Amino acid sequence: MQAHDDKKNDQSFRELLKAKISDPNLNAVLIGENHGLSFTPSAILANIDILENAGRKVIYVAEELEQHASQSIQAMHAAQVAQDIKFYDANLYNTLSNHGITVLGGESKESSPLYGLSGHERANVGRKPETQKMMSGMQRIIGGNVAFADVVNQAIKDNPGAIVVFVGGATHPVALEKNGITDEGMAGRIPNSVAINLVKTTENFDNVMQNVGYKESGADGGVGKYPYQVGSSKENCYKQAFDSQPTPKEKFDRLSAMTNDLVQSYSQFYKSGTAAFKENCRIITGAFKASNHLPADAKFDSFDKLMGKILESGGAEPNKNIKFNSSIKKDIDNALKADIKKMNPDLYKALDDKQEKRVSSTAALMGKIGGKTSSFLDKAKNAISSRRKDSIAAAPDPVKHDIGPAADPVKPAAVSTETKKVEIESTAVSVRPGRSGSN
């Protein structure tokens, strides 16, 4: 259950994320999620272009990854074979790393009694009553807040000017009161940070609200308040990513990038990812259709057929990676274009690179023809510009509209510096169980 202060607007998660990532006064964006209903991997992947083009270094910190498990993508693949990591998480961390975004783990002994355990040992310890009691108590929440904040603060210290995106359980980012105990949360320990609670909705639009009450699940669940809460979904996040592109060609480029990233991850982590891979393909292509007003029942037959072949190659060679190279990217793009041509020939024409070149050539020719009158036009424009400047100088300053912080940043408390620096260039292996669904 959540209560709110009623401040609502029509902005989206994408717009809010972009505003906060580009805010030079912020050091960290703390995203809370419900592990069991999480669609955060899709929300991050749909907006990876925002992170990649932030104009500053972006560091991603995941609660679910263990701090000690600094390993390569190849090591993660070996762990996935042992079922220690799910495809939707592997896909996220792999894609972030491929796009130059550093991925760090947050989990520690203080945040989880399952830290460092795997396989049957992890399952056995997780079933113990004392473990379950500790996992649901305030002790674990506070221990996690300290450990996660230490990782974030160290990353900020080591990378001046960078911004950290943290993703973890919704109990961690904000101050929480539970069983008579109050903790200031991660936001109270990280200077210049903002917290966003990302919740799942069935609506086909995002609902962004400010100053929203939060209650942890369970009869004795803790309570707090988020500066921002966003109701969204996987479908909404991907559609917003396409809607934000100004031309059909740029929408197709995003479709190409998303599907190629997905196939590249599957080529490395296909062991248990078949269902998630199919679901992600369906959601991404569905969002592209919706953004371009194509029939909902239109089929990407050529693309689906190609993806079927890729799935078959993964199952046929369980101990080998599918070979991902430039020829697969070309095959994917050609399949997508063939399907779009059947759905809407006019849209397909807008994707024709040769046609774009013809338009550019025509524009260049018109420029030469217009060169004879350019001197006269320049003089006219200069005269108009001069008059416009005089008019603007006399006018009042325009009102600015942006997504500013809901409140002043929480003042920092003492930050522990005992946690060692986490050096992870690509990603890590161990994850906390509980996230379900295809993200």
CA of residue 218 relative to chain centroid, distance: 28
* Residue 113 clears pLDDT 60, i.e. is over it: yes
From the CB of residue 75, how many other CB atoms can be counted at a distance below 10 Å?
15
Residue scoring higher pLDDT (194 or 434): 194
Tell me the average pLDDT of the chain. Answer: 77
**Is there a domain that residue 367 lies in?**
no
Residues 176, 27 within the same domain? yes
22, two tokens:
């580009």
For the cut 80, the answer to whether the pLDDT of residue 295 exceeds it is yes
Whole-number Å distance between alpha carbons of 234 and 439 = 7
Do residues 158 and 49 both lie within one domain? Answer: yes
Same domain, 194 and 53: yes
Q: What is the pLDDT of residues 18-30, one digit of tens each?
A: 999 999 999 999 9
The per-residue pLDDT for 193 is: 98
Average pLDDT over residues 287-295: 97
What is the sign, positive or negative, of the torsion defined by CA atoms of 226, 229, 234, 240? negative
Residue 306 sits in the same domain as residue 269: yes
Span 324-360, pLDDT tens digits: 666 888 999 999 999 999 999 999 999 875 544 443 4
Q: How confident is the model at residue 76 (pLDDT cuts 50, 70, 90)?
A: low
Q: What span, in angstroms and rounded, lies between the C-alpha atoms of 218 and 146?
A: 23
Is 389 a residue whose pLDDT tops 90? no
| Per-residue pLDDT tens digits for 40-62 | 999 999 999 999 999 999 999 98
Last residue of a domain, one of 210, 238, 266: 238
Note the pLDDT of residue 421: 36
54 domain residue, yes or no:
yes
Q: Are 70 and 79 in contact (CB under 8 A)?
A: no
Q: Give me the number of domains the chain comprises.
A: 2
Query: Of 38-42, 62-66, 68-72, 281-285, which gets the smallest average pLDDT?
Result: 68-72
**Are 173 and 307 within one domain?**
no
- Whether residue 228 is found in the same domain as residue 260: no
Distance separating alpha carbons of residues 289 and 426, to the nearest angstrom: 33
N- to C-terminal Cα distance for the chain?
Answer: 23
Confidence at residue 271, expressed as pLDDT on a 0 to 100 scale: 62
Look at residue 409 and tell me if it is in a domain: no
**CA neighbor of 80 nearest in space, from 430, 425, 436:** 430
Stretch among 113-122, 202-211, 252-261 having the lowest mean pLDDT: 113-122
Looking at the structure, do residues 231 and 252 belong to the same domain, yes or no? Answer: no
Taking residues 380-391, report their average pLDDT: 45
Same domain (yes/no): 269, 120: no
- pTM exceeding the 0.85 threshold for the entire prediction: no
Q: What is the DSSP letter of 67?
A: T
402-437 burial, b for 16+ CB within 10 Å, e for fewer?
Answer: ebebbeebbebeebeeebeebebebbbbbbbeebeb
Residue 426 scores a pLDDT above 50? no
Element containing residue 422 per DSSP (H, E): none
Residues 6+ apart with CB under 8 A from 33: 40, 167, 168, 169, 170, 197, 198
Query: What's the CA gap between 204 and 24, in Å, rounded?
Result: 32
Half-sphere exposure of 80 (CA within 13 A, CB side): 28
33 pLDDT higher than 60: yes
For residue 28, the model assigns a pLDDT of 98
Look at residue 382 and tell me if it is in a domain: no
182 within some domain: yes
73 with 118, same domain?
yes
Last residue of a domain, one of 221, 238, 255: 238
> Whose CA is closest to 164, among 154, 172, 174, 177?
154
* Strand partners for 60: 103, 165
pLDDT the model gives residue 10: 53
The residue segments making up the domain with residue 68 are 4-238
CA distance 431 to 435: 10
Q: Is residue 172 part of a domain?
A: yes
Token duo for residue 186: 């991660």
For 188-227, what is each residue's pLDDT tens digit?
A: 999 999 999 999 998 888 999 999 999 988 778 889 999 9
Residues 427, 91: Cα–Cα separation, whole Å: 11
The verdict on 10 and 140 lying in the same domain is yes
Domain end position, chosen among 207, 238, 269: 238
Q: Does residue 342 share a domain with residue 292?
A: yes
- Identify whether 117 is part of a domain: yes
- Compute the average pLDDT of residues 262-287: 85
Task: Give the pLDDT of residue 195.
Answer: 98
Q: Higher-confidence residue: 77 or 20?
A: 20
**297 and 251 fall within a common domain:** yes
pLDDT at position 406: 46
Q: Is it the case that residue 388 has pLDDT exceeding 60?
A: no
Which pLDDT belongs to residue 328? Answer: 87
Of 224, 207, 178, residue with least CA distance to 32: 224
In a domain, 414, yes or no: no
Pick from 29, 5, 3, 7: nearest CA to 208? 7
Q: What is the dihedral of CA 156, 161, 162, 165, to 10 degrees?
A: 80
pLDDT-based confidence at residue 253 (cuts at 50, 70, 90)? very high
The CATH number covering residue 82 comes to: 3.40.50
